[in-house]
């Protein structure tokens, strides 16, 4: 079997696609793996926020079109960029073992968030990060920063920001771990749903591919991802949403934490739940209901039944 992987053109996306390709090439059923590099609308429009141009799905639509018209067999994504509800006809066939799920503060003149001077300008396009930053440091100024990892780092180095926020996993995968000034504790900065997870998407009707990809899936990461994405789905989270969820496997069970906040960080709801690993998705939905009971709908600006 030849497997054609659709991927975005950024350095991080290509790294992830090559990582998946290397794993697939080890399988006896796979004779060759090819990469199809595509540009997405999310990559092309850098002068507006994701909220303004339509959200996370803009990074994956072109990849799905390539699978529909037969140019590609699978697509590789950062799972935090994949909407909780998959489009009809598509599925996440496998997730790989999670990398570092935490957030990084990147700065050139300080080594931690606490060392940033009052009124410092921090670049982040994530409302989740913004709300938690402002909850910790309401004196900071947070402004959007778009572009790939190298572009954002260059803006920092050019003096446009005093610091920026990025995912640790992306920096580590690109060999840039030395740029991390501080890895933020999840008690201070709860990660995005499925942050650090690589997912492989294919058409639902490709049972041959689904069976193949199931052999490389990481069981533990599958369960934590199911739990976190269930919270996201029930709370109708998009890139507009200051929502975080983070699951870990502990003592034979699953611990799931979630946070919803106002964009200015003044109002924060935190809740957690524990239960059986096999009930990961149900735990996610139950935790979301608890969040709703605490007022999450108002913070997230959603209407729920």
Higher per-residue confidence, 224 vs 62: 224
Distance CA 294, CA 289 (A): 9
pLDDT at 95: 98
Tokens of 218: 């990481």
CA-nearest of 300, 245, 252, 258 to 278 is 252
pLDDT at 237: 84
33 touches 64 (CB < 8 A): no
Mean pLDDT of all residues in 65-77? 96
Q: Which residues are catalytic?
A: 81
58 touches 48 (CB < 8 A): no
Q: Residue 255 above 90 pLDDT?
A: yes
Mean pLDDT of all residues in 287-301? 94
Pairing status of strand 74-78 against strand 2-8: parallel
Q: Residue 47 above 50 pLDDT?
A: no
Q: Residue 68 above 70 pLDDT?
A: yes
Q: Residue 52 above 60 pLDDT?
A: no
SS3 assignment, position 200: strand
Using CA atoms in the order 257, 262, 265, 268, what is the torsion angle rounded to 10 degrees?
Answer: -40
pLDDT at 303: 85
- Cite the DSSP H helix spans in the chain: 11-25, 41-44, 50-53, 61-68, 127-136, 149-157, 168-173, 207-214, 219-234, 280-293, 296-300
82 touches 56 (CB < 8 A): yes
Distance CA 133, CA 87 (A): 33
260 touches 289 (CB < 8 A): no
- Tens-digit pLDDT profile for residues 186-204: 999 999 999 999 999 999 9
pLDDT at 45: 46
Mean pLDDT of all residues in 63-87? 93
Domains recognised in the chain with CATH numbers: 2-96+198-217 (3.40.190.10), 103-183 (3.40.190.10), 230-300 (3.30.160.40)
Q: Residue 259 above 80 pLDDT?
A: yes
pLDDT at 196: 97
Distance CA 243, CA 192 (A): 7
pLDDT at 46: 45
- Cite the DSSP H helix spans in 2-148: 11-25, 41-44, 50-53, 61-68, 127-136
281 touches 227 (CB < 8 A): yes
Q: Residue 269 above 90 pLDDT?
A: yes
pLDDT at 59: 66
pLDDT at 304: 80
Mean pLDDT of all residues in 140-149? 93
Distance CA 208, CA 186 (A): 39
Q: Residue 49 above 50 pLDDT?
A: no
Distance CA 272, CA 255 (A): 7
> What rounded mean pLDDT belongs to the chain?
92
pLDDT at 58: 62
């Amino acid at each position: 079997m030849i497997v054609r992987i659709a991927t975005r053109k950024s350095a991080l996306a290509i790294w992830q696609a090559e990582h998946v390709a290397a794993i697939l090439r080890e399988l006896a059923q796979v004779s060759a793996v090819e990469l199809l590099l595509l540009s997405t609308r999310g990559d092309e429009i850098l002068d507006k926020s994701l909220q303004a141009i339509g959200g996370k799905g803009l990074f994956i639509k072109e990849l799905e079109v390539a699978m529909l018209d037969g140019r590609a067999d699978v697509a590789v994504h950062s799972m935090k960029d994949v909407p909780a509800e998959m489009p009809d006809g598509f599925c996440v066939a496998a997730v790989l073992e999670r990398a570092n799920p935490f957030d990084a503060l990147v700065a050139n003149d300080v080594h931690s968030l606490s060392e940033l001077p009052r009124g410092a300008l921090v670049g982040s396009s994530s409302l989740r990060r913004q709300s938690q930053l402002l909850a910790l440091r309401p004196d900071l100024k947070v402004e959007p920063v778009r572009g790939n990892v190298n572009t954002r780092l260059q803006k920092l180095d050019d003096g446009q920001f005093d610091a920026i926020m990025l995912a640790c996993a992306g920096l580590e995968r690109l060999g840039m771990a030395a740029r991390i000034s501080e890895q933020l504790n999840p008690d201070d900065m709860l990660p995005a749903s499925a942050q650090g997870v690589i997912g492989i998407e294919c058409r639902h009707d490709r049972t041959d591919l689904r069976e193949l990809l199931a052999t490389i899936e990481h069981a533990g990461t599958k369960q934590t991802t199911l739990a976190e994405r269930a919270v996201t789905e029930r709370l109708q989270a998009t890139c507009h949403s200051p929502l975080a969820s983070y699951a870990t496997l502990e003592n034979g069970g699953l611990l799931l934490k979630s946070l919803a906040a106002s964009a200015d960080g003044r109002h924060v709801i935190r809740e957690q739940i524990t239960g059986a690993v096999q009930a990961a998705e149900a735990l996610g939905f139950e935790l979301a209901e608890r969040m709703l009971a605490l007022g999450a709908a108002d913070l997230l600006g959603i209407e729920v039944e």
